[in-house]
């Protein structure tokens, strides 16, 4: 082998080694394709700080009674990436018939409560709820015991034209 041929062989070997080394470094430093993007915060999160901040803006649950709202929701599907989501809150030390507010959020921003008056016996209907629609079930507890089954009202709330639309009639006023 001539000096020029030997030089080309060594150069080819060194070049190949550098290419393999660069490819190995790229594989080691690249995140796997299935990893969530850094800082990703989409998904249901009932401990999100937006909820506790929104709770502070609520009017007292019962006039003349020291019953502060609990900043820890008892239910909901709050998702900062959802078109419409909800956090259900009640008062601290609540019982089954305590008032509850359904706090609505659009893309993680608090937009208000589903009803002007808090209703007891409010729950999220997960099966009917979608990205732009929250469905709440309100049990009418006026004429039945707290633990007894009673009539339930299903109310759909949908994000339309940059606002929430209530698609069904609200249940009778709970009288609070």
Is residue 141 classed as helix, strand or coil in its secondary structure? coil
Rg (CA), the chain: 28
Q: Which two tokens stand for residue 162?
A: 């940059």
Residue 3 lies in a domain: no
Return d(Cα 14, Cα 146) in angstroms, integer.
Answer: 80
8 Å CB contact between 102 and 137: no
* Structural domain boundaries enclosing 147: 49-166
pLDDT in tens, 134-166: 999 998 877 666 677 778 899 999 999 999 999
34 domain residue, yes or no: no
Asked whether residue 55 is assigned to any structural domain, the reply reads yes
Work out the number of other CB atoms within 10 angstroms of the CB of residue 102.
Answer: 25
Task: Decide if pLDDT at 96 tops 90.
Answer: no
- Cα atoms found within 13 Å of the Cα of residue 78, Cβ hemisphere only: 25
Mean of pLDDT values over 56-69: 87
What does pLDDT average to over the chain?
80
Evaluate whether residue 54 is within a structural domain: yes
Confidence of residue 85 (pLDDT cuts 50, 70, 90): very high
**2 lies in some domain:** no
Distances (CA, A) of 16 to 13, 21, 23, 128: 5, 9, 11, 59
In a domain, 76, yes or no: yes
For the record, the structure tokens of 104 come out as 């609505």
Section 126-141 average pLDDT = 94
Task: Please indicate, yes or no, if residue 111 is contained in any of the structural domains.
Answer: yes
In the chain, how many domains are there?
A: 1
Q: Which of 3-17, 54-68, 154-168 has the highest mean pLDDT?
A: 154-168
Q: What pLDDT score was predicted for residue 22?
A: 38
Per-residue confidence at 26, pLDDT binned at 50, 70, 90?
very low
For residue 29, being part of any structural domain is answered with no
Phi, psi of 29 (to 5 degrees): -85, -10
β-bridge mates for residue 125, sequence order:
none
Which of these ranges, 13-17, 29-33, 107-111, 149-153, has the smallest mean pLDDT? 29-33
Q: Give the tens place of pLDDT for each residue, 30-62.
A: 333 333 344 458 999 999 999 999 999 999 887
- pLDDT surpasses 70 at 14: no
For residue 175, is pLDDT > 90? no
């Amino acid at each position: 082998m001539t000096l020029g041929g030997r030089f080309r062989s060594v150069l080819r070997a060194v070049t190949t080694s550098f290419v393999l080394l660069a490819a190995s470094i790229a594989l080691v430093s690249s995140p796997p394709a299935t990893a969530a993007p850094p800082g990703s915060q989409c998904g249901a999160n009932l401990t999100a700080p937006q909820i506790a901040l929104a709770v502070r803006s609520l009017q007292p649950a019962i006039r003349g009674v020291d019953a502060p709202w609990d900043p820890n929701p008892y239910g909901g599907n709050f998702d900062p990436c959802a078109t419409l989501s909800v956090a259900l809150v009640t008062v601290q030390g609540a019982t089954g018939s305590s008032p509850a507010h359904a706090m609505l959020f659009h893309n993680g921003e608090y937009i208000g409560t589903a009803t002007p008056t808090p209703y007891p016996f409010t729950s999220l209907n997960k099966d009917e709820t979608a990205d732009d629609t929250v469905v709440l079930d309100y049990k009418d507890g006026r004429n039945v015991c707290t633990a007894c089954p009673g009539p339930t009202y299903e109310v759909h709330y949908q994000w339309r034209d940059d606002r929430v639309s209530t698609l069904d009639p609200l249940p009778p006023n709970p009288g609070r």
